[in-house]
């Protein structure tokens, strides 16, 4: 029961209180680019969730080994990156093997693998094991944080997408701010709201 509570609390914290995209800027560029093409959101979100959860869990488990516990921050960081690389390569090989006889076209295979690459080597994915290690999350919390990262990304992308649609139809925006500048300012406002949730001092 305690583990389930820990799992949900970590996930909800990452999604709402400390939304990784808005409060930390992790994966912000990918969120903006996915918001411009929402059709890719589902696949992208699933992959981000998968990679962040797997990496976070594996890093947490490795971190339980006494040798790594005493190692410095740099060693830990190198280990996290190596774990992510191994997870990605194994996933890519599995995808290749699965698609071998599935009758997929080469272009489709390449596209899927490219998506996997972009979602795996992303700041939001690598940030989860770092945060887990810093805050000393338990195993269940690490899983919760990994899944929460995926949902935080979905929430951020959907909010940005909605904002983009509104900004697109708004003719009162000054010409110089149309497009990317307006999107940045809009994200700044959302980010301000989420920072407010975390209890930080906003002004003065």
Partner 1 sequence: MKKRDKKDKNENIKKANTIREKPVKEKEQKETSENEAVSFKYELFSEVIVKNPVLVSTIGLCPVVAICTSLKSAVVLSIITYFTMIFSQIISASVLKHCPQWARVALYALSGMAIVAPSMLLLENVLPENMIALGIYLPLLAVNPLITRQCERVAVKSTVKQAFVNAVSCSTGYAAVLIITGFVRELLGSGTLWDYRVFSFPTATALTNPFGGFIVIGFMAAILRWYFKKIDPEYAEDLAVNSRSSIKKPKVKKSQKHKKAHVSSMTYEPQEYLPHQEEVTTQESVQEEIPAEESHQEDEQNLTETFEQALAENTTHIDNSEEQILEIQLEPQIKEIVQEETKANKKIEYTSKELEDLMSKSLEDIIKDTIKETPQEPDADKEVPKQ
Whichever of 64 and 176 has its CB closer to partner 1, that residue is 176
Tokens 């992303």 correspond to 122
Stretch that binds partner 1, among 45-53, 98-106, 110-118, 139-147 (CB under 8 A): 110-118
Please give the angle made by the CA atoms of 8, 14 and 18, to the nearest 5 degrees. 135
Q: How far apart are CA 112 and CA 41, in angstroms?
A: 13
**Binder to partner 1 among 118, 138, 139, 158 (CB under 8 A)?**
118
Q: Does 155 bind partner 1 (CB under 8 A)?
A: no
Instruction: Please tell me the distance from the alpha carbon of residue 21 to that of residue 28, in angstroms, as a whole number.
Output: 5
How far apart are CB 4 and partner 1 at their closest, in Å? 28
The answer to the question of residue 179 lying near partner 1 (CB under 8 A) is: yes
* Contacts (CB under 8 A) with partner 1, residues 88-107: 88-89, 92, 96
* Listed ranges 10-18, 46-54, 142-150, 177-185: which one lies at the site for partner 1 (CB under 8 A): 177-185
Name the segment binding partner 1 (CB under 8 A); options: 4-12, 53-61, 75-83, 136-144: 75-83
Q: Which stretch binds partner 1 (CB under 8 A): 56-64, 137-145, 151-159, 181-189?
A: 181-189
Select 67 or 203, whichever has its Cβ closest to partner 1.
Answer: 203
Shortest Å, Cβ 105 to partner 1:
14
């Amino acid at each position: 029961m305690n583990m389930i509570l820990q799992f949900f609390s970590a996930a909800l914290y990452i999604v709402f209180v400390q939304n990784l995209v808005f409060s930390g800027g992790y994966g912000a560029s990918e969120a903006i680019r996915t918001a411009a093409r929402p059709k890719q959101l589902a696949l992208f979100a699933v992959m981000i969730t998968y990679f962040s959860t797997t990496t976070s869990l594996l890093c947490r488990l490795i971190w339980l080994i006494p040798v790594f516990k005493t190692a410095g921050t740099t060693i830990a960081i190198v280990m996290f990156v190596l774990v992510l690389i191994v997870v990605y390569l194994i996933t890519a090989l599995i995808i290749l093997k699965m698609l071998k006889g599935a009758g997929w076209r080469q272009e489709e295979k390449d596209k899927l693998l490219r998506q996997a690459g972009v979602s795996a080597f992303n700041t939001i994915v690598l940030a989860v094991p770092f945060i887990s290690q810093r805050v000393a999350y338990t195993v269940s919390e690490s899983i919760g944080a990994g899944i929460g990262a995926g949902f935080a990304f979905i929430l951020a992308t959907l909010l940005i997408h909605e904002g983009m649609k509104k900004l697109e139809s708004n003719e009162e925006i000054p010409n110089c701010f149309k497009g990317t500048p307006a999107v940045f300012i809009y994200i700044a406002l959302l980010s301000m709201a989420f920072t407010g949730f975390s209890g930080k001092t906003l002004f003065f």
